[in-house]
Amino acid sequence: MKFFKKIVKIIFVLLLLAIIAIAIFSAMNWTMVSNLANMGNMRTDNVREWETTVTPVAGNLDDSKLLVAETPELSEATKISLIDYHDQENGLSLLVWKNGKIQFEHYADGMDRNAVTASYSMNKSITGLMAATLHAEGILALDDPVSKVLVEWKEDVRGEITLRELLQHTTPLEVVSMANPDFRTMEILIGDDIEEAALSNPVDDAGLGFEYATINYQVAGAVIRRYIDQAFNTSYAEYLSEKIWRPIGAGDAWLSSGQDNGIPRFYAGMQASAGDWLKIGLLIKNEGQLYGKQVVPSEAIKILTTPAESNRLYGLGVWLDAPEDGSREYGPNTAIAVTHSAPYLADDVVFFDGFGGQRVYIVPSQDLVIVRTGQVSMSFDDSILVNLVLKNAK
């Protein structure tokens, strides 16, 4: 009899767990489940396999004007040091442009300049560049309340937030982070209507200090794409293609959406090549010009790279300079920090930061752009590649 009761109890517990699992599965839509399953296959270099619901950004690949130095300005010892660090941190692509030419290229097996990889949060820099360009061209105003186009927030305190506040991470919106992966976080990161989930995010009364947060860029993207639709009757991806991507000679790229409505993730997920990122870096280094053509207004680059009042290390989707204490933090509620073991050897470093060491470093005063992609590394040190080149270039 006791054995029978034990069996009944086990069956009851199993049934209860099954009911809970069904309830959770029912609450999660199929897109979320599929996206969650795909995350188990994530690598930076196989992004086309695991991030398949995407919006294309048509390119016009042209590398003919990317000059390669016949006699590189980097010493053999410097090249060896770059390769050693690249390989140590599971790098995929490493490109060094200096003084008008590509001085160094190094790739993992199976990779080359035009191999497409995941960029993670480097897409925030593209979102910032698009906003700065639209502001400089008078299509939108960064300091207008977002309720001008977000009708959902018209009668809401959130409607008073400005696009600049979103892009500089100084909003009162509740932080959405994988460090605290609740259901709403999952909806915004991997659900089937990311924009709706983002616009339903509540206010947190903690204040308006700098807090790097995914939610800010998804809402910012909603604002930007609506201004583009109003002004040009086209989509964000099509405008990005026509305004920037094709004019700089970048190849085809893709914006992750994880959903079927074509609305991309604006905080992460651009799939592009190291060569494409180099051209974007050159565009910023040259104050909006590339190959003698003004692609975006110089004012846009100034806006992009001006430090935020709340954080001197952050512009409009780009990072600036190095922290004084050797560790760059993302905010008081984010446990992750990035190592900067030494100050930069130049005081005008601008860089894109993608999770796990995806980087574009731009140093205008030194005519330097470095692109680095790799498998996710949590030990990546932001000072090493830049300082190796600056210290040892001829």
| Cα–Cα dist 28/16, whole Å | 19
Cβ contact 42:238 at 8 Å: no
Instruction: Give pLDDT, residue 157.
Output: 93
Instruction: Give pLDDT, residue 25.
Output: 43
Cβ contact 372:86 at 8 Å: yes
Instruction: Give pLDDT, residue 20.
Output: 39
Instruction: Give pLDDT, residue 37.
Output: 46
Question: What are the pLDDT digits (tens) for 143-198?
Answer: 999 999 999 999 999 999 999 999 999 999 988 766 566 677 777 777 778 888 89
Question: What are the pLDDT digits (tens) for 245-294?
Answer: 999 999 999 999 866 778 999 999 999 999 999 999 999 999 999 999 99
Domain at 42-392, CATH homologous superfamily: DD-peptidase/beta-lactamase superfamily (3.40.710.10)
Instruction: Give pLDDT, residue 291.
Output: 94
User: Could you read off the pLDDT tens digit of each residue along the chain, which spans 394 residues?
Assistant: 455 445 544 554 454 444 334 334 444 454 544 554 454 555 777 766 766 778 999 999 999 999 999 999 999 999 999 999 999 999 999 999 999 999 999 999 999 999 999 999 999 999 999 999 999 999 999 999 999 999 999 999 999 999 999 999 999 998 876 656 667 777 777 777 888 889 998 898 655 789 998 899 999 999 999 999 999 999 999 999 999 999 999 999 999 986 677 899 999 999 999 999 999 999 999 999 999 999 999 999 999 999 999 999 999 999 999 998 999 998 887 778 999 999 999 999 999 999 999 999 999 999 999 999 999 999 999 999 999 999 987 6
Classify strands 116-118 and 270-273 as parallel, antiparallel or unpaired.
antiparallel
Q: Which residues pair with 362 in a beta bridge?
A: 350, 369
Instruction: Give pLDDT, residue 175.
Output: 82
Instruction: Give pLDDT, residue 332.
Output: 81
Instruction: Give pLDDT, residue 50.
Output: 60
Instruction: Give pLDDT, residue 21.
Output: 42
Instruction: Give pLDDT, residue 41.
Output: 53
Domain ranges of the chain: 2-39, 42-392
Instruction: Give pLDDT, residue 352.
Output: 98
Instruction: Give pLDDT, residue 24.
Output: 42
